[in-house]
Structure 1
Amino acid sequence: MDSFNKEIKMKNLIIGLIGLLLIVSACSDELTEKPKSQAEDNFYNTSAEAKAAVNAIYGPMRGDGAFGLNYPAQLEGLPDYGSSRGSQAPVSTYQGLDNTNINRVSTVWDSLYRSIRNANIVISKVPSATEISDEDKALFIAEAKYLRSMMYFSLARCFGGLPIRTEANIDLSDVPRSSVDEVFNLVLQDAIDAEAGLPPTVQDLGRPTVWAAKTLLTEIYLYQQNWEQAAAKSSEVISSGRFGLVEVSASEDFQKIFGPDVVNTPEEIFYLKFNRQQGFGLVSYAHRKTAQYSYYGPGGVYAQYTDSLKNPFIKSWDNADLRKEHILYNVDIGLGPTTCLFRKFRDPDATAGAANDYPWYRYADLLLFHAEADARAKGVPTDAALESLNKVHRRAYGYPSTVASPVDFKLQDFTLDSFLDKVIEERGYETMYEGKRWLDMVRLGIAKERILEIKGITVADKVMLWPLPNSEILYNKAMEGEQNPGY
Structure 2
Amino acid sequence: MKRIFLSLSAIAILLGGAGCHDSLLNMTPGSSLTTSNFYKTSAEINQAVLGVYSTLQSRKQTDYVLMEAPSDNLYMSTVSPITGSFDVDNLVVNPENVVVANFWDATYSGIFRANQVLLNIDNPKDYTGVAKDQYTGEAKFMRALFYFDLVRVYGGVPLVTTQISITEARNQARATADQIYDQIVADLTDAVAKLPAAMVKGRASKGAATALLGKVYIYRKDYPNAMTYLGKAVTDFGYDLVPNFASLWSPATEDNIETIFQMKYIESTNGQTLSTSFIPNGGVYNIVDRGNETALPSWSLNKLFVAGDKRKANTITDLYVAPTRPNDPPQFYPYVSKYATKHPYNNSGLDLPVIRFADVLLLHAEALYNSNDKDGALKALNRVRQRAFGDASHNYAAADIATPDAFLNKLLLERQLELAYENERWFDLVRTGKFTTVMEQEERLYNDATQTPLVTDLSPKAYMAVFPIPQRQIDQYNKDVLKQNPDYTK
TM-score, normalised to structure 2, is 0.83
Equivalence map 1:202-213=2 (5 Å): 202=199, 204-213=200-209
Name the residue aligned to 2:419. Answer: 431
Ranges in structure 1 where 5+ consecutive residues have no aligned partner: 1-6, 25-36, 249-253, 400-404
Separation in 2, partners of 1:316, 1:125: 50
C-alpha contact (below 8 Å) 2:247/2:254 kept by paired residues = no
Q: Is the 8 A contact 2:93 2:468 kept in 1?
A: no
CA 1:481/1:419 → structure 2, altered by over 3 Å: closer, same or farther?
A: closer
Offset from partner CA, 1:260-298 (integer Å, 9 cap, x none):
34340110101111122232222222111447x347525
| SS in structure 2 of the partner of residue 189 of structure 1 | helix
1:22 equivalent in structure 2? 31
Residue 220 of structure 2 corresponds to residue 230 of structure 1: no
* Secondary structure of 2:420's aligned partner: coil
CA distance in structure 2 between the aligned counterparts of 1:20 and 1:44, rounded to whole angstroms: 14
* 8 Å contact from structure 1 (residues 45, 132) kept in 2: no
Determine if contact 2:227/2:367 at 8 Å carries over to the other structure. yes
2:367 is equivalent to residue 358 of structure 1: no
Check the 8 A contact 1:21/1:56 in 2, yes or no.
no
Tell me the percent identity.
Answer: 24
**What is the alpha-carbon distance in structure 2 between the residues aligned to residue 301 and residue 463 of structure 1?**
29
Query: Is 1:409 the equivalent of 2:401?
Result: no
Contact 2:151–2:157 (CA<8 Å) still a contact in 1? Answer: yes
Q: In the alignment, which residue of structure 2 is the partner of 1:92?
A: 89
State the Cα RMSD in Å: 2.6
Which whole-Å CA distance do the structure 1 matches of 2:397 and 2:314 have between them?
26
TM-score (norm 1): 0.84
CA shift for structure 1 position 461: 4.7
Q: Does 1:444 align with 2:435?
A: no
Asked if structure 1 preserves the Cα contact closer than 8 Å seen for 2:74 and 2:295, the reply is yes
Alignment pair present for 1:124 and 2:119 = yes
Tell me if structure 2 keeps the 8 A contact 1:200–1:209: yes
Going from structure 1 to structure 2, the CA distance change for 1:232 and 1:44 (only over 3 Å counts) comes to same
- Equivalenced residues, count: 443
CA contact (8 A) 2:56 2:110 kept: yes
Q: Distance in 1 between matches of 2:480 and 2:215?
A: 29
CA distance in 2, matches of 1:227, 1:168: 35
Give 3-state SS (helix, strand or coil) of 2:262's partner.
strand
Q: Distance in 1 between matches of 2:254 and 2:163?
A: 38
What is the rounded CA distance, in whole Å, between the counterparts of 2:201 and 2:381 in structure 1?
A: 28
Aligned to 2:133: 138
Given the alignment, which residue of 345, 362, 378 partners 1:386? Answer: 378
Contact 1:10 1:275 in 2 (8 A): yes
Aligned pairs for 1:25-424 within 5 A: 38-40=35-37, 43-63=38-58, 66-69=59-62, 71-86=63-78, 87=80, 88-96=85-93, 102-133=97-128, 135-167=130-162, 169=164, 172-174=168-170, 175-202=172-199, 204-240=200-236, 242-248=238-244, 254-276=245-267, 277-290=269-282, 293-294=284-285, 296-297=287-288, 299-308=290-299, 311=300, 313-331=301-319, 337-378=331-372, 381=374, 383-399=375-391, 405-417=392-404, 418-424=406-412
**Offset, 1:62:** 1.5
Partners of 2:248 and 2:254 within 8 A in 1: no
Matched position secondary structure for 2:355: strand
CA distance in 2, matches of 1:129, 1:299: 48
> What corresponds to 1:251 in structure 2?
none
Q: Distance in 2 between matches of 1:75 and 1:206?
A: 22
**Alpha-carbon separation, structure 2, partners of 1:92 and 1:187:** 29
Q: Are the equivalent residues in 2 in contact too, given 1:96–1:460 (CA < 8 A)?
A: no
CA contact (8 A) 1:73 1:435 kept: no
Structure 1 residue 479: Cα displacement: 6.4
C-alpha deviation, 1:324, in angstroms: 1.5
- What is the DSSP-based 3-state SS (H/G/I as helix, E as strand, rest coil) of the residue aligned with 2:182? helix
Unaligned runs of 5+ in 2: 1-17, 325-329, 444-456
User: What per-residue deviation string (whole Å, max 9, x for no partner) do you get for residues 198-234 of structure 1?
Assistant: 11111x3200111101111111101110011111111
> In structure 1, what residue type is equivalent to 2:307?
N
Following the alignment from structure 1 to structure 2, what is the Cα–Cα distance between the partners of residues 142 and 45?
A: 19
Mapped contact 1:56–1:118 kept (Cα < 8 A) = yes
